[in-house]
Structure 1
Amino acid sequence: MPPDSAAPPFQRLRHMALIGAVFAAIGVVQPFLPAYLALRGLNAEQVSLVLALGAAVRLLAGPAGGRLADALGDPRLLMALLAGTAVLAALGFGWAAGLAGFVVAQMALNIAMAPLTPLADALSLAAARRGGFDYGPVRAAGSILYMAMAVVTGWLAGRFGLGILPWLVAVALGAALLSILVLPRAPDRAARRGVRGGVLAALRLPGFARLLLLSGLIQSSHAAYYAFSSIHWGAVGHAPATIGLLWGLGVVGEIALFLFGQPVIRRLGPAGMAGLAASAGIVRWLGMGFTDWLPALVLLQTLHALSFGAQHLAAMHLIQRLVPPHLAGTAQSLHAALGVGLLMGAMTWLSGPLYAAWGSGVFTAMAVPCALALPLAATLRRAEPRGR
């Protein structure tokens, strides 16, 4: 297939389709997999164990996939194989039984999906650099599809039961596979073959290791929310459709930030955006720890735009400035695995016993990593390249 020579709008649409499909699958899994596992007989500690083990395998699968993609120069075949495997793994949740069965299904799904999101981001950032378009609206497509699938899944689960979850995930991942197959070859494929580098080369980039820790602290503060908010909100009487709407609402502000946030990040820079994310996380998690009142939850959910979205934009912009093209897949996968996945897995595992002991108090505990991130965000300014 020839290199991508399409006009920027068509380039952007291709990458919007890819990221949108990947995040549609996440929009089913993230809000509702914990509740699905509980429905299938797992207790809170077992749910957190299954989720944490899935996060643990991502630590190896993500960087390995990113490094292989960089070595190949053209990651499309690898991504297609991973997407096809993820479809089968998603269907495996419908056939699994008992703790061991769900551990196997979760680990298979996470091994296949771990490289997909960072590689989709790396391809989109590279296309944006070549085509002269903004990455933000491309990533907004992922958030829109995430929100839509969260709302639709909540409605369908209320109508037909959570047993439909594996099929919805498989359909979304099938769409991701199709979108990968129509991606064009990047024009710099041949130039990237044989370029030396790897995990250590990426970690030695100035400021990159600091970014990994900062993203880990801020994004892992969402662990209890991802693992137990649906279970907790259902336990206090909120209907599945309401829970789906709450998850979808959390993404509305995030979408606005991705669509229109370019002037904001130009003004604040990655360090300022990271500080904003940490501050919003502190307010959000303290609030969720103290109330289950629906109007208050609606307000708190709008902070997702900052607690998650601002840090994601900060990380993507800094990676785009710091990382040379031949290390893009490796750096994105390291950020997803070590920067987010490592602490996310630890916090997810910890959330199970804390939720069993404290109930909604587990959300209050999530303010701690955000508080630790605040002073680190200020030091990130030293890593920002000058004059770019």
Structure 2
Amino acid sequence: MSAPLSFALVFGAQFLGMGAIMPFLPAILAEGGLTAAQVGGVLAAGSLIRLIAAPLGGQIADRAGDSRVVLATAAILAAASAMGFGVAAGLALLLAVQIAHAITMAPVVPLTDALAIGAVRRMGFDYARVRAAGSVSYILGAVLAGWAAEWAGPRAAAWILAASLAATAGLALFLPRTPRIPAASQGSAWAPMREPGFPRILAIAALMQGSHAVYYGFSTLHWQAAGLSSGFIGVLWGLGVVSEVLLFVYGRAFADRLGVRGLALLAAGSGVLRWSVTSVTTEPAILIAVQVLHGITFGATHLATMRALLAISTLQAKAQTLVASAIGATTGGLMWLSGGLYAMMGGGAFLAMALLCAIAFVLALGRNEDRVE
């Protein structure tokens, strides 16, 4: 199996499950008896746990002889914990499931990215086109979960997640092996923070991906309250990734022309627009239009981050997991805050996310002396 195909299959498997669970996890928690504030707290707990679990996974992977085994082990444990969402109810049990799943899931995506970036360095294939397989699967997962939720309730998404992670575990063993980094070169889990440019791209990535907190945590509940069906909401989540796929598959020349800074500025400006509009309307036609911006707010941010790390970091597992931790901590804190914000302001909570994008825009405008261009 070729390296690009093997990575496409692994990305496809894991993002199928993520596309299924992300729109419907808040609804699963609400069905389990949690209030809006408790939903925000449980979601935040998962993100904050990743702050510790993800760097630990990166440290283990960089020290292990074969990162693929670490990835496969994490994925199968994450599949087992995901099944808890299909059966648990009540705050204590759902919080326990969320913590277990956060610990086991934390290394899965960043380790896959780290292995992919290492393979890109050695083999020269297009990371964005391979990663697009994950985006396509995310769309399929969101739509599939929407249909399944109509038939069997939102907990159906948990079983789709578990199956996709089990497939990820098996497929991970077919990935090309990354050469082991000599122990003397590894340093601590925080070693990438000393690399020029890394702290700034870390901050921009955390702000931009964190700005999706209200969307991830409460858009489904917000749109359900407005009378939109679960099937249509699943389509909205899937549709948001279509432009992301187009960017990953066809946007290499565009991304080369913009560079890291240009991609970050585009993402941040689009985020200000997206969340401002989402805060004031639930009109289906407008939501369809504004969801297309997800391909920019998420996709362009992700490409900017990967391009920056490819240029500035050799400790890929540590760097990727630190980025994931920063995003998780920011998203977790914002989800905790957004529970109260959403309970108090409804859709107005999205305006706080627009402010975060404005801050990221200012950071991206700053003078770059550190090769993150």
The 1-side partners of 2:216 and 2:150 are apart by 19
User: C-alpha displacement at 1:161, in angstroms?
Assistant: 1.6
Aligned residues of 1:73 and 1:192 also touching (Cα < 8 A): no
- Tell me: CA distance 1:88–1:375, structure 2 relative to 1, closer, same or farther (3 Å): same
> Which residue identity lines up with residue 310 of structure 2 in the other structure?
Q
1:213 to 189, 203, 209: 203
Q: Aligned residue for 1:346?
A: 333
After TM superposition, list the pairs within 5 Å mapping 1:176-187 onto structure 2.
176-186=168-178
Aligned residues of 1:272 and 1:378 also touching (Cα < 8 A): no
Q: Aligned residue for 2:19?
A: 27
After TM superposition, list the pairs within 5 Å mapping 1:156-235 onto structure 2.
156-186=148-178, 188-189=179-180, 192-193=182-183, 195-235=185-225
The 2-side partners of 1:143 and 1:285 are apart by 21
Q: Aligned residue for 1:262?
A: 252
User: C-alpha displacement at 1:223, in angstroms?
Assistant: 0.3
User: C-alpha displacement at 1:337, in angstroms?
Assistant: 0.5
TM-score calculated relative to the size of structure 2: 0.97
- Tell me: CA distance 1:313–1:161, structure 2 relative to 1, closer, same or farther (3 Å): same
Q: Aligned residue for 1:337?
A: 325
Taking only aligned residues, the RMSD between alpha carbons, in angstroms, comes to: 1.4
Q: Aligned residue for 1:3?
A: none
The 1-side partners of 2:353 and 2:372 are apart by 31
After TM superposition, list the pairs within 5 Å mapping 1:50-89 onto structure 2.
50-89=42-81
The 1-side partners of 2:245 and 2:158 are apart by 26
Give the fraction of aligned pairs with identical amino acids, expressed as a percent.
Answer: 45
The 2-side partners of 1:184 and 1:52 are apart by 34
- Tell me: CA distance 1:196–1:162, structure 2 relative to 1, closer, same or farther (3 Å): closer
Aligned residues of 1:210 and 1:380 also touching (Cα < 8 A): no
Deviations 1:14-66 (CA, angstroms, capped at 9, x unpaired): 00111111111211121110011111211100000000000010000001101
Q: Aligned residue for 2:92?
A: 100
Q: Given the alignment of the two structures, is residue 313 of structure 1 paired with residue 300 of structure 2, yes or no?
A: no
User: C-alpha displacement at 1:355, in angstroms?
Assistant: 0.6
Q: Aligned residue for 1:328?
A: 316
| More moved, 172-181 vs 54-63 | 172-181
Q: Any stretches of 5+ residues in structure 1 without a counterpart?
A: 1-5
Aligned residues of 2:56 and 2:189 also touching (Cα < 8 A): no
The 2-side partners of 1:365 and 1:132 are apart by 40
Q: Aligned residue for 1:376?
A: 363
User: C-alpha displacement at 1:194, in angstroms?
Assistant: 5.0
Aligned residues of 1:207 and 1:380 also touching (Cα < 8 A): no
Q: Aligned residue for 2:102?
A: 110
1:151 to 143, 154, 164: 143
| More moved, 126-135 vs 158-167 | 158-167
Deviations 1:329-365 (CA, angstroms, capped at 9, x unpaired): 0000001102x11111111111100110111111122
The 1-side partners of 2:355 and 2:367 are apart by 19
| More moved, 351-360 vs 374-383 | 374-383
Q: Any stretches of 5+ residues in structure 2 without a counterpart?
A: none
User: C-alpha displacement at 1:181, in angstroms?
Assistant: 2.4
The 2-side partners of 1:360 and 1:385 are apart by 35
SS at match of 1:69: helix
Q: Given the alignment of the two structures, is residue 47 of structure 1 paired with residue 39 of structure 2, yes or no?
A: yes
